[in-house]
C-alpha cells in the first residue's frame, strides 16, 4: 500500500472501533453489555479487517457494515462481530467453536482472545480463502474444517463458547450437546424471510438450557435442525 492508503486505512480502523464502542453503549439495555471490553477492543484494533475482504472492497473494510465475500455470503458488520464476541465472555483459557467461517474475520478476532478456535465452513472456496488469511496473518490457534456445521465438531467438544454466523430456525441439538457446562452460545434464530433474533443460549452448571432473545438481525440462512 502507498503511505496515503495506509493512513486512510488506519484512520478508518480507529473510527470503526469508536463507532462500535458507541453502538455497544446504545444497545446495553438489550445485551447487558455496558461497555466494549478492553480485550475485545484491542482485538478489533489488532486484526486487519481489510485483509479479510475482497481486494476491490478494501476501501470499505473499516466501514461498520457487512460486505459481500462471494458465494452469496458476507463478512459480518463489525459491531455484530464485537457484540457476539462479548456475549460469549471469552477468556484466555477458553476453547470456542464457530459455525460459518466465512472470510475468517470473526475467527481471527476470537483467536486474539481465547486459547483455541475451531471453525467450520460448508463452502470449500471460502474455507480455503480463510485459511490463507490465517496463514498470512500467522494465526496459529485457529483450526478450520470444511463441512456442515449442523453437527458441530464433536472431536474437540465441549466448547466454552459457540458462535453461529448464519440464521437457523432452531438451535441444532448437536451444538447444545457440545456446549460446556456454564458455556454460552450466540446464534441468530429465524428464517431469511422472517424476523431473526440474535439469541443468547446458556447452559448452567446442572446442564439446563436458557434462551434469551436480544435484538433483530439479518444473517444469511443456514440449514439447521436434527
Please check whether residue 139 lies inside any domain of the structure: yes
pLDDT in tens, 184-220: 999 999 976 778 999 999 999 999 999 999 999 989 8
Please check whether residue 106 lies inside any domain of the structure: yes
Strands of the sheet containing 142-146, edge to edge, are: 142-146, 116-121, 95-99, 159-164, 179-189, 196-203, 209-217
Please check whether residue 225 lies inside any domain of the structure: no
Whole-model pTM?
Answer: 0.93
Q: In angstroms, rounded to a whole number, what is the distance separating the alpha carbons of residues 169 and 7? A: 43
Please check whether residue 38 lies inside any domain of the structure: yes
* β strands within the chain, DSSP E: 67-70, 73-75, 95-99, 116-121, 142-146, 159-164, 179-189, 196-203, 209-217
Which range marks the domain in which residue 48 is found? 3-217
Predicted pLDDT at 139 = 96
Please check whether residue 128 lies inside any domain of the structure: yes
Please check whether residue 140 lies inside any domain of the structure: yes
Q: Is residue 180 annotated as part of the catalytic site, yes or no?
A: no
Please check whether residue 107 lies inside any domain of the structure: yes
Residue 3 confidence class, pLDDT cut points 50, 70, 90:
very low
Cell numbers 459491531 correspond to 79
Closest CA to 142 of 179, 94, 110: 110
pLDDT in tens, 48-94: 999 999 989 999 999 999 999 998 899 999 999 999 999 999 999 99
Please check whether residue 224 lies inside any domain of the structure: no
Residue 9 confidence class, pLDDT cut points 50, 70, 90:
low
Q: In angstroms, rounded to a whole number, what is the distance separating the alpha carbons of residues 136 and 30? A: 37
Average pLDDT over the chain reads: 93
Q: Which of these is catalytic: 76, 127, 154, 180?
A: 76
**7 has a pLDDT exceeding 60:** no
* Count of domains forming the chain: 1
Residue 11 confidence class, pLDDT cut points 50, 70, 90:
confident
Predicted pLDDT at 194 = 74
**Domain of 132: which CATH number?**
3.40.50.150
pLDDT in tens, 92-114: 999 999 999 999 999 999 999 99
pLDDT in tens, 113-133: 999 999 999 999 999 999 999
Amino acid at each position: 500500500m502507498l503511505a496515503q492508503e495506509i493512513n486512510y486505512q488506519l484512520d478508518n480502523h480507529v473510527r470503526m472501533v469508536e463507532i462500535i464502542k458507541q453502538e455497544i453503549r446504545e444497545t446495553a439495555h438489550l445485551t447487558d453489555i455496558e461497555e466494549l471490553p478492553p480485550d475485545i477492543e484491542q482485538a478489533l484494533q489488532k486484526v486487519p479487517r481489510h485483509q479479510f475482504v475482497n481486494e476491490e472492497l478494501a476501501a470499505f473494510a473499516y466501514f461498520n457494515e457487512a460486505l459481500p465475500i462471494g458465494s452469496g455470503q458476507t463478512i459480518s458488520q463489525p459491531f455484530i462481530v464485537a457484540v457476539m464476541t462479548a456475549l460469549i465472555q471469552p477468556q484466555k483459557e477458553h476453547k470456542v467453536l464457530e459455525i460459518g467461517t466465512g472470510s475468517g474475520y470473526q475467527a481471527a478476532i476470537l483467536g486474539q482472545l481465547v486459547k483455541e478456535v475451531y471453525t467450520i465452513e460448508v463452502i470449500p472456496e471460502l474455507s480455503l480463502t480463510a485459511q490463507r488469511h490465517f496463514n498470512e496473518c500467522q494465526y496459529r490457534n485457529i483450526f478450520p474444517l470444511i463441512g456442515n456445521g449442523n453437527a458441530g465438531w464433536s472431536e474437540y467438544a465441549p466448547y466454552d463458547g459457540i458462535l453461529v454466523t448464519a440464521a437457523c430456525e432452531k438451535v441444532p441439538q448437536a451444538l447444545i450437546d457440545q456446549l460446556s457446562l456454564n458455556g454460552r452460545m450466540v446464534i441468530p434464530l429465524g428464517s431469511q424471510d422472517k424476523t431473526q433474533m440474535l439469541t443468547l443460549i446458556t447452559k448452567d452448571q446442572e446442564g439446563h438450557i436458557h434462551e434469551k432473545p436480544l435484538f433483530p438481525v439479518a444473517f444469511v440462512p443456514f440449514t439447521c435442525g436434527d
